[in-house]
Structure 1
Amino acid sequence: MVIYLAFFALSLCFIYFYEKTQIKFFMLIGIAFPVILAALRSDVVGTDVRVYAEQLFDMAVSSNSFNDFTRMHWYSVWRYKTVSEFEIGYVILVYVCAKLHSFALLLGLTQFLTLYPISMVLDKYKKRYSGIMTIGLSIYYLLFYNMSLNMMRQWIAMAMMLLAFQYFKDGSNKYFIITFIIAILFHKTAILGLFIIMAYKFLNKKSGTVVLKTVQNTYDLKKILLLCLILIIFLLTISNKFRLSLINAFHFSEYATYIDGEVTLSLNQLVVDIPIIFLLISIWKFRKNIVDNYFYVFCIFSNIFLSQLASVMAYSSRISLYISVFKILIVPVYISSMSSKLQKYISLLGVIMFYLLYWYYTYVINGIDATVPYVFTSFK
């Protein structure tokens, strides 16, 4: 357990130095610590390491060619799995690392392909929000790092989707398309990012008003769009038929079993959002000063609703992760937008302490994602 916290602290120290000095070397060293920790872990750290990463790697080592590798299969639990079932981006990554005979390289690159895009996104905001990289990566480490040691393919996809979103926002269409395609090549559920980008596009329209003649009242168009989008997400959460119809419409029927069922209130999923709600209330008076305020509010409430799908099946909550990842950005933006330094420091301390307890309860006590205790690999 301690090794995680030590590596998190060392990483954040160098990230902090980078933000103060703008020396890229400090950022690279900061990123290196969690990447090395991921690379040197045993195959018992992270459930999916043994489920598919190690299996794919061993077959790639023994294969005669890439085509030969993609045709291989193995028996897993109750059925045969073939290499071709997995996204081509991850398959290529495994094959390259296997031919270099380094499983540690595979695990390390997997974390690098997750952490570096997230760092790139946060780095784009450093001039506007002080300390955004240090705070944002603190949130990533405490909420998501251990999870990323298990859900490796999806976390690469989510990180790339977050970077693609930023390119879209900046108007860099070429880089948006390239990065978004890369995300899908590692996990096809990254297509969900299109809906997030559409929501951002709707909420980023120029300010306007709507007049209802029957009551002679004027309403902010963005507020109406925000309420409509949140209502759609709410219906998606509570209506099983609505969920299944969308799954079938977009040809994701293979994932239907993950969301097929009635939703009940899951308090565990609500707890993690308590700090976000607290921050939203704290900056409410100043929300208009935040550039993407409406989009952030959409992310907060959409995540609250969609996370309740975990009551259907644990895997169902993975859908909400594509929105939940924006907490890495929302938390530092909200804290930086507070009016006084004292309020910022108290809020930051409160959030970090809360998520430190959450990290301990989730990953240490409950053993979620099977990452604690940390075990070093044995090089042969």
Structure 2
Amino acid sequence: MIGLLLPCVLAGARDNTIGTDVLVYGDAYLNYAQRYNSLSSFMNFDYLGGEPLFKILSYVSAHYFGQFGYYFTLEFACVLPIYATFVRRGWERYSWLGMLIYYLCFYSFSLNLLRQSIAMSIIFWSYNYIVERKPVKFCISAAIAVGFHLTAAIMLLLYPIHRMVTYVPDKDSKNFFSKIIGPYRKLMYALIILLCVALLFLYSSLLPAFIALTGRFEGQLKYLSGGISIYWPYWLTMFLPIFLLFRKYNVRCSMDEEYSFLYLMFALSIILFQMIGINSESYRISLYFMQFLILLMVKIGCTEYRTSRVILERWCTLFSLGTYYIYFFVIALFNHVYPYTSSMLGI
């Protein structure tokens, strides 16, 4: 409980200078929620868009619990689905590993990307319904995520992608979808990666069209640099985890088809993170896919023997993720969450 609640307390007690989006829209929603006397009136309040479920959560938490309760609740909505997923999968023994990876790679993002971080965590939870093959519940969960951030809509593709790349002839041969797509899963696997690479090259042209279609995210245009470049800090900090994890790709995928999907998600996150060379903000979309690194690491911990080599590789990976945290959030000041200050806590 301490591991879950302490980060929420730090989020609730932080100054409003911690996290770029806190001043962009976080404090605005807080202040207006406290001014409006009814939820229906607040729902008509329009500031930088604002998805409906985020508005509802903002109003309830800010109107009734004040500033601390507002940011505490937003953070709790991020961390709870992560931990609940480990419990549902029966992975409580390695929940410490999953939460540690979350705090290293995503906690600082959650202090800034208030809406998207909640949407990401809901998508993380909805993966349970993909594994359990409950498409209706998955779609409902994804729709809830979209109610917090529109970008979560792209994650509706997770269900068909999962069915494509985890096809098992004996188990899926009678299913119509799997019967058609399943035999070509290796081709589909490669095609999905190629489509992401194509998206990377076409992004500068597709973004204005997407903005015109949705009427949202116009501010992203000012971040376009126009060219593709390799973002070396990412590769320098993530090379070791990528190498160690993909080293046993064939062995793990032959043992359990779920690894094929988790590895694909991690690969897509690597590709899409390179959007940072085109648009300094659009790398954020890769975070939806990168969070499956948590499940990949925890699944490995739960299913493989604890040999000295496995343990060494795990701690080498965690060390590298620590350098990822230090570079991006302490040195490069991503999202402006460092140094942490809190007038409430006297820090």
TM-score for the superposition, normalised by structure 2: 0.85
Of residues 95, 102, 105, the one that matches 1:133 is 95
Asked if 1:234 is matched to 2:207, the reply is no
Deviation at 1:259, TM superposition (A): 6.5
Asked if 1:373 is matched to 2:339, the reply is yes
Q: Which amino acid aligns with 1:353?
A: F
The superposition leaves residues 281-322 of structure 1 with CA deviations (integer Å, 9 ceiling, x where unpaired) of: 045434311331221221122112111111111211011111
Identify the residue that residue 65 of structure 1 maps to in structure 2.
38
Q: What's the secondary structure of 2:89's corresponding residue?
A: coil
Asked if 1:144 is matched to 2:106, the reply is yes
Identify the residue that residue 86 of structure 2 maps to in structure 1.
122
Identify the residue that residue 56 of structure 2 maps to in structure 1.
92
Identify the residue that residue 270 of structure 1 maps to in structure 2.
235
Deviation at 1:340, TM superposition (A): 5.2
Of residues 280, 288, 293, the one that matches 1:322 is 288
Q: Which amino acid aligns with 2:317?
A: V
The structure whose residues are more often helix, as a share, is: 2
Identify the residue that residue 144 of structure 2 maps to in structure 1.
182
Summarize the alignment of residues 337-352 of structure 1 with structure 2, pairs less than 5 Å apart. Answer: 337-338=303-304, 341-352=307-318
Unaligned runs of 5+ in 1: 1-27, 73-81, 209-218
Q: Which amino acid aligns with 1:266?
A: Y
Of residues 264, 271, 278, the one that matches 1:312 is 278
Contact 2:244/2:317 (<8 A) preserved: no
Unaligned runs of 5+ in 2: 171-181
Q: Which amino acid aligns with 2:254?
A: K
Change (3 A) 1:133 1:309: same
Identify the residue that residue 157 of structure 1 maps to in structure 2.
119
Change (3 A) 1:132 1:222: farther
Summarize the alignment of residues 154-233 of structure 1 with structure 2, pairs less than 5 Å apart. Answer: 154-207=116-169, 221-233=184-196
Distance 1:291 1:121 in 2: 19
How many residues are aligned here? Answer: 331
Identify the residue that residue 3 of structure 2 maps to in structure 1.
30
The structure whose residues are more often strand, as a share, is: 1
Change (3 A) 1:266 1:175: same
Of residues 240, 245, 250, the one that matches 1:279 is 245
Q: Which amino acid aligns with 1:121?
A: T
Change (3 A) 1:271 1:247: farther
Identify the residue that residue 333 of structure 1 maps to in structure 2.
299
TM-score for the superposition, normalised by structure 1: 0.78
Distance 1:259 1:289 in 2: 43
Query: Which protein has the larger Cα radius of gyration, Structure 1 or Structure 2?
Result: 1
Contact 2:167/2:257 (<8 A) preserved: no
- State the identity as a percent: 24
Distance 1:67 1:190 in 2: 25
The superposition leaves residues 218-265 of structure 1 with CA deviations (integer Å, 9 ceiling, x where unpaired) of: x97322221111111111112347745983797477467366833222
The root-mean-square deviation of aligned C-alpha atoms, in Å, is 2.8
